[in-house]
Amino acid sequence: MFEDIPVDVGHVYEGERIRSANMFVELAGPKSVGAELLRVVEKVDDGKIEVIGPDTDEMIEGESYKFVLQVNVQGDLLEEEIEGVLETKIHELSNYIQGYMHLNHRDQIWCRISKEAFESGFKFKHIGKVLGILLKEEFPIIQGIEIKISTDPKEVEKFVEKAMEIYEKRDAMARELSDEDVDVFYGCVMCQSFAPTHVCIVSPDRSGLCGALTWFDCRASAKIDPEGPVFEVNKGNTLDDVRGEYDNVNDVVADKSQGTFNRVYLHSVFEYPHTSCGCFEAVAFYIPDLDGIGIVDRSFKGETPLGVPFSSMAGQCSGGKQVEGFTGICIEYMRSPKFLQADGGYERVIWLPKELKDLLDDFIPEEIKDKIPTEEDATKIKDIKEFLSKADHPIIIRWEETEAEKIETKKSDDEIVMESTIPQVAYAPEISVPASGEFRIILKNAKIYAEKVIIRRNENKFDKS
Amino acid sequence: MIVAVSGKGGTGKTLVASLIIRNLLDKDLDILAIDADPDSNLPEALGAKAEKTVGDVREELKRETGKGEIPYEMGKWDVLEYKIMEAVVETSKFDMLVMGRPEGSGCYCAVNNMLRKIIETLSNNYDVIVVDTEAGLEHLSRRTTQNVDIMLIVTDTSKRGILTAQRIKELSDELDIKFKEMYFILNRANPKKKEELLRKIEDTGLNIIGTINEDENVTEYDIEGKPLIELPENSSSVLNVSEIVNKILYKKEIR
């Protein structure tokens, strides 16, 4: 298949690096410019390989050259959407060529040809030939393929500019990839060494809590490091598309958390929020007094509206626990259109640090941006409430609704609520005190001495007449 | 082959690492020097300068991720691979990678996991890798040196230096890290008291592969900040390390 290629071609050369001391020339990379682009087109001249500008034998040893690789593919089943997937494959397949180093993608490629390869007669058409064969082999839906390699400085520069526009369009599309578009999510148990029951579920709309792994990164990790901590999760049937609950995801979480949890909502802080490892970039926390959600990230050192800083809050909900009202998140998740969608998304967010807000400037909906206070506006519940009222934050509608409900429902005789006036010492969102018999004692907003003590009669099983 | 040099701080790890590299330069090998000491001074000893460390790469990625600047499709693996390649200092005779600063706050598990794999792939391209480890025992517990073939532990003549050397041996046994070979090097030995010291050290069960005598040239180069790799050929330390390398590589007369 590769008889007329002067160097070896094979899987074994993957990961080959060419030291500058052994290099003939360098293409693109940090010292020059270049790009590669794959496009799906209607018609190609199958097998055509064109080289524009100086070929290897016209180059000077040790120099860096501008470099463009253009691949046009044609096939009845090919669609524009698949261009990105095919294009990323160029990196892997190029590395099969002995004496040809290829790093990264797009306008960030960096290639080198070894002295040895050059001496054996390696030319640019050989790159085209190998890629043509391997791409067709890997993706049989490709029926025709033509490749153009350019080292002509003017042509390269012009092309890179054009390619950038196409990359941007693709990025916008990739961001739109959503949980519904895929069948496979990924799981990660890297943090189980210190959070033994934590299972990260990474979907297109929800990146790993540490912020390091997007769905795309996980796809790469599972492939590059199959023995590693990242694995495929078939999401299974959708149980609740708003909260983000899937039957098989639940099963995997149960299995990998040693049965500790068996349900998880990807897009809510209530009921069954995603467990939290300890290395999350931020925490989304419920503020009961205002029925809204606050966000605090690791770099914010001050106190949150709950009266504690990030570190204490992280201590309460980390270690692989599932604590209702709290969930660890990464900053990238706050750019997702599904960001806490079950709870109301940004319409439910009533506080976040200024720095974080600036970072998310393009993603917080315009109509609500100015209505969410930061530490510069308020940090105490009372002040936040005032700010929200003045700013006409949508949370107000929620308050009004709850108020209306309260008036309608008469307080049950079985529930005694005691309000306490003892000052706040420490904070816990909810504590259940073990009690026997027909009562449950729940301390809400416990601040060492409870702010509220609820003694509620359990529903009487025999009283159903 | 991966050779790591460890020991208590200030015992001469960097001297040993740089002179091993110096010794290998004319042997037509692809050599990678790795400076794994956060307080890095291998670059100065080798007369090379690192524009970017692995630590810088890690922070850069963290920053770019926070800002959402990394295109989804490209993925962090390939971006990191590129950045690490950029961090490699390439000279005509050897390449060098500086690990640099330790992690800041936040989680670096995933990034470190990727980095480990990428540096492993990179390392496979070299015949010899010489690692100047961080002082003390941390590299063992963090298991950053677990793929090392030959562990060289440098000690000076001080009791504490010898104690650290002993602890490195004990801890690696305890953690079940199996170096193919592990040897000790006695540095700054005073020729008159050497024999007596060597006997003492052998009593502790450490396997001494060689000694490096006190060398005025080294002191002078250190004071002037001149690269140790450029020490004159007839310097005693250069000759001593050359003997050690011969013993390691050609397995002659190990005591």
Residues B156 and B253 in one domain: yes
Cα distance between residue B222 and residue B235, in whole Å: 14
Which percentage of chain A shows pLDDT scores above 70? 88
Instruction: Chain B: give the shortest CA distance to residue A118, in Å.
Output: 19
What's residue A452's pLDDT? 61
Residues B7 and B93 in one domain: no
Decide if A30 and B30 are in contact by the 8 Å CB cutoff.
no
Q: Give the mean model confidence (pLDDT) for residues B170-192.
A: 84
Q: How confident is the model at residue A415 (pLDDT cuts 50, 70, 90)?
A: low
Pull the structure tokens for residue B35: 């400076």
Cβ-based interface (< 8 Å): residues of B facing A: 30, 62, 65-68, 71-79, 81-82, 85-86, 90-93, 95, 105-111, 113-114, 117, 121-122, 124-125
Decide if A110 and B85 are in contact by the 8 Å CB cutoff.
yes
Query: Which residues, in sequence order, are CB contacts of B240 under 8 Å at separation 6+?
Result: B210, B211, B212, B213
Q: How confident is the model at residue A403 (pLDDT cuts 50, 70, 90)?
A: confident
What's residue A353's pLDDT? 96
Q: Which CATH class is domain A11-176?
A: alpha beta
Given strand A67-74, what is the order of strands in its sheet?
A34-40, A67-74, A144-150, A49-52
Rounded to 5°, angle at Cα A71 from A68 and A75? 170
DSSP A192-235: GGTSTT--EEEBTTB--TTSS--HHHHHHHHHH-TTSSEEEEE-
Nearest Cα to Cα of residue B74 among A406, A214, A370: A214
Q: Which of A98-107, A110-119, A259-268, A453-462 has the lowest mean pLDDT?
A: A453-462
Residue of B67 and A132 predicted with greater confidence: A132
Q: Give the mean model confidence (pLDDT) for residues A184-203.
A: 90
Q: Does the structure show a pLDDT above 60 at A465?
A: no
DSSP A402-451: HHHHHHHSPPPTTEEEEE--PPP---EEEEEEP--TTEEEEEEEEBSB-S
Q: Does the structure show a pLDDT above 80 at B134?
A: yes
Instruction: Chain B: give the shortest CA distance to residue A210, in Å.
Output: 6
Q: Does the structure show a pLDDT above 60 at B118?
A: yes
Domain extent for B158: 1-26+152-177+184-255
Residue numbers in B near A335 (CB within 8 A): 68
Decide if B72 and A214 are in contact by the 8 Å CB cutoff.
yes
Facing A213 at nearest CB: one of B62, B110, B122: B110
Torsion of CA A337, A343, A344, A350, to 10 degrees: -110
Residues B118 and B39 in one domain: yes
Q: Please, what is the average pLDDT of chain B?
A: 87
Residue at token pair 């590589």: B249
**Sign of the torsion formed by the C-alpha atoms of B72, B76, B81 and B84:** positive
Domain residue ranges of chain A, discontinuous segments joined by +: 11-176, 181-402, 410-457
**Sign of the torsion formed by the C-alpha atoms of B36, B42, B44 and B50:** negative
Decide if A331 and B72 are in contact by the 8 Å CB cutoff.
no
Residues B63 and B3 in one domain: no
Residue numbers in B near A167 (CB within 8 A): 71
Q: What interhelical angle do B13-24 and B236-250 show, nearest 10?
A: 70
Greatest Cα pair distance, chain A, in angstroms, is 96
Instruction: Chain A: give the shortest CA distance to residue B55, in Å.
Output: 16
Q: Does the structure show a pLDDT above 80 at A400?
A: yes
Write out pLDDT tens, residues A73-108.
999 988 888 888 889 899 999 999 999 999 999 999
ipTM metric: 0.85
> How many other CB atoms sit within 10 Å of the CB of residue B193?
10
What's residue A440's pLDDT? 56
Q: Does the structure show a pLDDT above 70 at A414?
A: no
Cα distance between residue A49 and residue A38, in whole Å: 14
What separation in angstroms does the CA of B134 have from each of A43, B5, B36, B117, B206?
59, 9, 6, 20, 20
What's residue A429's pLDDT? 60
Write out pLDDT tens, residues A46-68.
999 999 999 999 999 999 999 99
Residue of A415 and B120 predicted with greater confidence: B120
What's residue B253's pLDDT? 43
Pull the structure tokens for residue A145: 């393929």
| CATH for A181-402, options being 3.40.50.300, 3.20.20.80, 3.40.50.970, 3.40.1470.10 | 3.40.1470.10
Residue B135 placed within a domain: no
Residues B203 and B104 in one domain: no
Which chain B residue's Cα is nearest to A81? Answer: B73
What's residue A437's pLDDT? 52
* 3-state SS, residue A85: helix
* B99 φ/ψ sector (left φ>0, alpha ψ -120 to 50, else beta): alpha
Write out pLDDT tens, residues A304-356.
999 999 988 888 888 888 889 999 999 999 999 999 999 999 999 999 999 99
B65 phi/psi in degrees, rounded to 5: -65, -45
Which chain A residue's Cα is nearest to B112? Answer: A212
Number of domains into which chain B is organized: 2
Residues B190 and B99 in one domain: no
* 3-state SS, residue B56: helix
Residues B18 and B67 in one domain: no
